[in-house]
Amino acid sequence: FCMVVVLKLYSEPDEKLLELSSQVVPASKLLNDIIVSDVKDIHSVLAMIPKTFTLPESDVEEEYFCMVERPGLDISDLGVPYSVYADNDDNDANEVE
């Protein structure tokens, strides 16, 4: 028995958009290609976030997908009060600082 993964592929990043964004926005198109691979061949996981762009010469909105390698790791506080942030100072005179 072999554990497999089914993957839908994306194109190489659009060169014109990459050039216009000074190599900052690697945006790809979703392809109709599907491959099957051994799950042990996976080295990392990433997210492809949908984004609509309008290139200057076309004036037509097109849907692209932007790669995010570690989605959510840049968000450390979502407005949830965590106990580590609570001020538990009861103004005792015997505290050692």
- Residue 97 is assigned to a structural domain of this protein: no
Is the model more confident about 78 or about 62?
62
How many folded domains does the chain comprise? Answer: 1
pLDDT-derived band of residue 52, with 50, 70 and 90 as boundaries? very high
Q: For residue 54, which of 32, 27, 30 has the smallest C-alpha distance?
A: 27
- Residue 13 is assigned to a structural domain of this protein: yes
pLDDT at 39: 92
What are the two backbone dihedrals, phi and then psi, of residue 36, each rounded to the nearest 5 degrees?
A: -115, 130
Alpha-carbon gap, residue 25 to 53, rounded angstroms: 11
pLDDT-derived band of residue 43, with 50, 70 and 90 as boundaries? confident
- Residue 55 is assigned to a structural domain of this protein: yes
- Residue 26 is assigned to a structural domain of this protein: yes
Domain that residue 48 falls in: 4-71
pLDDT at 67: 86
Alpha-carbon gap, residue 96 to 75, rounded angstroms: 34
Please work out, in degrees rounded to the nearest 5, the angle formed at the alpha carbon of residue 42 by the alpha carbons of 51 and 24. 35
pLDDT at 68: 80
Once rounded to an integer, what is the mean pLDDT over residues 10-14?
94
- Residue 33 is assigned to a structural domain of this protein: yes
Question: Taking a C-beta distance cutoff of 8 angstroms, is the pair 9, 35 a contact?
Answer: yes
Q: Hey, is 70 helix, strand or coil?
A: coil
Give yes or no for residue 76 having a pLDDT over 70: no
